[in-house]
Amino acid sequence: MLHASPKSISIGLLILRVGVGCLMLTHGVPKLLNYTTLSQGFADPIGLGSQISVILAIGAEVGCSILLILGAFTRLAVLPLAFTMIVAVFVVHGADPWKVKELGSFYLLTYVALALTGPGQFSVDHCCLGGRKATGGSEQAG
């Protein structure tokens, strides 16, 4: 039976983190650039008001995506991202057909997987926290 090496697993996690983080930035950066316009009429799916809702979405989609790309505070960074996708899939698009919910569901599953695995050894978390704690205990430090 073939087993992946810790290095190849970490390369896979790096590709996943950077890829998904960059893809999510394509949703967040336009919100950031159009904040003034969006804050007046942004969806308010959980009753916090349009301004707070767009700020939270930008914080997750831009701020947390940057942390994810870097592999910094990865397990914490994916929590707002996952919450944003839960709201998008089940509240904002709850009545929509599956095709509309599919992308948000993919992001959500990816964030859950990264919360469970950690960022891998090619991350700020690994460099600053050490291997076992930052990567979920599957690798030796160093």
3-state secondary structure 109-137: HHHHHHHHHCCCCCCHHHHHHCHHHHCCC
**80 near 107, Cβ under 8 Å?**
no
Inter-CA distances, 12 with 21, 22, 71, 136, Å: 14, 15, 13, 15
| 40, part of any domain | yes
| 112, part of any domain | yes
| 5, part of any domain | no
CA distance 43 to 38: 9
- pLDDT at residue 72 in the model: 96
SS3 state of residue 64: helix
pLDDT band for position 139 (50/70/90)? Answer: very low
| 92, part of any domain | yes
| 3, part of any domain | no
| 4, part of any domain | no
- Please provide the distance, in angstroms rounded to a whole number, between the alpha carbons at the two ends of the chain: 26
| 1, part of any domain | no
Q: pLDDT tens, 48-91?
A: 999 999 999 999 999 999 999 999 999 999 999 999 999 999 99
Is the model's pTM score more than 0.95? Answer: no
Per DSSP, 1 falls in state: -
Domain residues for the domain of 50 are: 15-134
- pLDDT at residue 142 in the model: 35
**86 near 108, Cβ under 8 Å?**
yes
The count of domains in the chain is 1
| 142, part of any domain | no
pLDDT band for position 131 (50/70/90)? Answer: low
